[in-house]
Amino acid sequence: MTALSVNLNKIALLRNARGGHLPDVARAGRTCLDAGAHGLTVHPRPDARHIRADDVSVLARLCAQRGVEFNIEGNPFAPPRPGYPGLLALCTSARPAQVTLVPDGDGQLTSDHGFDFHRDGEALRPLIAALRALGCRVSVFVDVGNPDLGLAAALGAQRVELYTGPYAEAFAAGDPEPALAAAATARAAQSVGLAVNAGHDLDQANLGRFLAAVPNVQEVSIGHALIGEALYAGLSATVRAYRTIIDASAAL
């Protein structure tokens, strides 16, 4: 069955907008896990605009206590700066089950493209090896249609995360083609030994269709839409609603 990993960045963003400790990121994480989430995701950025290094430590302990997966996303090329020790240092301390490498720059509001493995591959290779030596599974963020998935596998990646922003946009416009393209990319990844995750702009409206079209998705990482929907329905109820969609897809 596809695992649901809830991204807590937006909880931290709301907290940081006011300062202080509320809403409590760890309490939100516990609530999500209590409601059936299979794991938690964070994407700490160098400017610390949402998840901070101290959040990573707290959530790593929570996931270890609960026996669930902790997924840290981040740009492996972003250098350390005050308040941000760098992705490798965070992972060395937290030892997440999974690290998802994403090529996002400081100026991006959110991740919006995958890696170019011909350009970035040799720089990624030692970083992937270092993360795997820590015991972390390594996933790399890819665009649907990326022709170089064999190169991603050769670099040592174990999974790819399909960037689903274009799929979500097309779904809202009534266009089914991006789901078929995502399915083809997933099969291409699996053919070279890579497992498949997915994330970005997945929501309750489009998730079921995506999982029906794309084979053997191991994990979906969902944050922005889920937290937005939770403002109306409540966090526990929203996580349970996502689990209902995922459970139904597993039964097909």
Name the strand (E) or helix (H) holding 222. Answer: strand 217-222
Asked if 250 contacts 34 with a C-beta cutoff of 8 angstroms, the reply is no
For the question of residue 73 being annotated catalytic, the response is yes
Asked if 157 contacts 175 with a C-beta cutoff of 8 angstroms, the reply is no
For the question of residue 50 being annotated catalytic, the response is no
**DSSP 8-state symbol, 2:** P
Angstrom distance (rounded) from CA 221 to CA 246: 12
Among residues 38, 69, 161, 200, the one annotated as catalytic is 200
Angstrom distance (rounded) from CA 21 to CA 106: 24
Among residues 73, 161, 219, 229, the one annotated as catalytic is 73
Asked if 222 contacts 6 with a C-beta cutoff of 8 angstroms, the reply is yes
Angstrom distance (rounded) from CA 41 to CA 59: 9
Among residues 38, 43, 161, 219, the one annotated as catalytic is 43
CA distances to 39, 77, 104, 116 from 124, rounded to whole Å, are 26, 9, 14, 11
CA distances to 47, 49, 141, 165 from 107, rounded to whole Å, are 10, 12, 18, 18
Angstrom distance (rounded) from CA 17 to CA 189: 39
Strand, helix or coil for residue 36: coil
**DSSP 8-state symbol, 84:** B
For the question of residue 219 being annotated catalytic, the response is no
Annotated catalytic residues are 43, 73, 200
